Amino acid sequence: MLGFVLGYVVFTAYMAMTPKVSVIEFIVSMVFFGGGIFCVMIFSVVSQSMERIAFAEFQQRHNESHDSLTGLPNRRFLLQTINQHISDFETTQQRFAVATVDINNFNHINEIFGHQAGDSVLYQYSERLREFVEQDIFLARTSGNRFTFIITSPETTNVTQYIETIQAYLDHPLTINDHDVNLTSTVGVALYPEHGATAEDILKRSEIAMYSAKRIQVPYAVYEAASYRQFYDKVELAQMLQVAMENMDFDLYFQPVLNVNKTHKTTFEVLIRWPLGNGCSVSPDEFIPIAEQTNVIQQITRWVLKKTITQLAEWSEKGMSPHVQVNLSVKDIEDDSLEPFLSQLLKDYTIDPSQLTLEITETSMMQNPKKAQTVLEKIKKLGVSLSIDDFGTGFSSLSILSNMPIDEIKIDRSFVTDLLYSSNHEAIVRSTIYLAHSLECSVVAEGVETEALGQYLMSIGCDKIQGFWYGRPMNLAQADTWLRDVHMINHRVASQN
Ligand code: C2E
Ligand code: CA
Ligand code: CA
């Protein structure tokens, strides 16, 4: 086209300088004239189309990142922006807060006035929010009746005061179909970097804080780790567990067990903990079933066994040799490679196998009794003892029980706790003690919380007592102190005799 325009200009100049125009020259000039008009048309069509394409692209990008009702950025755009703040933090060290505002009882508005009125409320509410938040505050509509904004300098802005002011501003009636409707809101706040490492974490936790505030009926709340577990579903816990597994972010706790006839002998049950920070942790009752479903339980069991045996070796170097009980999962007693693994560990750390008992719940043993029997017999041959945990909850039959290579029965807490007040449970506990002794097994009562209960259990022949009365689960430092104390007492008693 450029060539054509150039040719046209040159030819026009030539024509202007030529006084007499021949027929050929006239025809050529007409061609150039028509072509020129054609070029101008093409040029204008092309430029208009380009403008339209650019506008459509802009519209598409805008629609992907904005909410169509309020025109505010959407959740996706918000997450991108939080991510940007997170990467800026590395250089600027600029903390920020994410606040989620939820309009209370919004569904009532939809139900009473209809969805169109509901949309109008959302639009007016968003306008109100937009008016309030300053220009540089990023505001998004994150879902139906929920808005989220970022406060970029929580050090200079008093966050809670800011939230109180915004709520006072927002919680005014709005007019719907000539009616004044009172609106209230609940706000949840999470801070970066204190409350999470990723944009998703921070946003989610501001929502969790908002839910906590609703639950305890306060207008706003700042995220607290303790509230966190109640709002994470199994899928999220499974994802978090995967991350914890990569670093083996677990701890071991040790609960002392009283050996009624050998009080000088210390026994600990090893209990796993998954700490989340801020002093709170996920209970094994919550995460072990997830670990079983996601097949990471084998790794956990091996980690617990290795850590326990390493600890036994350390205690042994200090002249202390407690007995330890480790819990196995249902998946472990279907796992043929557990026995060689354990055997190697015992050899590597030169641990006396009689220092170790493995606990299997009655329910897991009953899932596949034949397989359980084979695996347990192999383990038993290593010299390790075996205990049936939560006994009384798993419907085992006497014939199966008598074939299992077991050394101990642990009566489930549910029968023990109310023993002094329930004649049924008393009968169950007494007959379990009788049954266990007939099978040449010792008996442990779990969940003993009071001295009266402990004394009574001892009087009816219970061999071991476990529960908060004798001792709560302790961390390693506390278990170490417990062990040293028992060791010193034993030493003193021995030297007096
Ligand atoms: P469990 O084997 O029956 O362990 C005893 C549980 O009862 C522990 O809870 C302990 O803290 C609690 N407990 C002890 N004494 C008392 C008491 O007097 N009163 C009350 N109310 N509770 C008492 P924890 O540590 O939360 O463990 C829960 C369960 O998680 C365990 O029940 C066990 O089945 C499982 N678990 C714990 N650690 C492991 C592990 O390393 N591997 C596997 N597979 N399971 C584990
Ligand atoms: Ca146990
Ligand atoms: Ca138990």
Question: In this structure, are residues 370 and 400 in contact, taking their beta carbons and an 8 Å threshold?
Answer: no
- How many whole angstroms separate alpha carbon 104 and alpha carbon 153? 27
User: In 151-172, which positions are buried (b, 16+ CB within 10 angstroms) versus exposed (e)?
Assistant: bbebeeeebeebbeebbeebee
Across 235-256, average pLDDT: 86
CA neighbours closer than 13 Å in the CB half-sphere of residue 405: 19
Q: Which of 327, 416, 417 to mutate for ligand 1's pocket (most ligand atoms within 8 Å of CB)? A: 327
User: pLDDT grade, residue 311 (50/70/90)?
Assistant: very high
Ligand 1 centroid – CA 271 distance (Å): 6
For residues 389, 394, 398, 400, the Cα torsion angle rounded to the nearest 10 degrees is -80
Neighbours of 463 (CB within 10 A): 22
For residue 289 and ligand 1, the question of a CB distance below 6 A is answered with no
Q: State CA 293 to chain mean position distance.
A: 16
How far CA 2 is from CA of 32, 33, 119, 238, 388, in Å, comes to 13, 15, 53, 64, 91
Ligand 3 centroid – CA 222 distance (Å): 37
Strand partners, 465: 258, 445
Strand partners, 280: 277
Q: Which of 250, 267, 271 to mutate for ligand 1's pocket (most ligand atoms within 8 Å of CB)? A: 271
Closest CA to 302 of 223, 248, 352: 248
User: At residue 225, does pLDDT exceed 80?
Assistant: no
In this structure, whether the domain defined by 234-496 belongs to CATH 3.20.20.450 is answered with yes
Instruction: Give the largest CA-CA distance in the chain.
Output: 142
Question: Model's pTM, two decimal places?
Answer: 0.62
Q: What is the pLDDT of residues 463-477, one digit of tens each?
A: 999 999 999 999 999
Neighbour-count burial of 2, counting CB atoms closer than 10 A to its CB (0-12 exposed, 13-18 middle, 19+ buried): exposed
75-230 sits in which CATH class?
A: alpha beta
Please provide the average confidence, as pLDDT, over all residues in the chain.
Answer: 87
Across 137-159, average pLDDT: 87
Q: Could you identify the atom of ligand 1 that is nearest to the CA of residue 326?
A: 41
- In the chain, ranges of CATH 3.20.20.450 domains: 234-496
- In the chain, ranges of CATH 3.30.70.270 domains: 75-230
- How many whole angstroms separate alpha carbon 228 and alpha carbon 205? 8
Task: Give the list of residues 6+ apart from residue 491 with CB closer than 8 angstroms, or none.
Answer: none
Residue tagged 């929920």 (tokens)? 146
Q: Whose CA is nearest to atom 27 of ligand 1?
A: 284
Across 225-232, average pLDDT: 57
Question: In this structure, are residues 394 and 368 in contact, taking their beta carbons and an 8 Å threshold?
Answer: no
Q: Would you tell me the crossing angle of helices 297-317 and 284-293 to the nearest 10 degrees?
A: 130
Q: What is the pLDDT of residues 411-433, one digit of tens each?
A: 999 999 999 989 999 999 999 99
pLDDT at site 442: 97
Closest CA to 252 of 320, 306, 319, 329: 306
For residue 454 and ligand 1, the question of a CB distance below 6 A is answered with no
Residues in the chain: 497
Question: In this structure, are residues 139 and 129 in contact, taking their beta carbons and an 8 Å threshold?
Answer: yes
**Element of type H or E holding 65:** helix 23-65
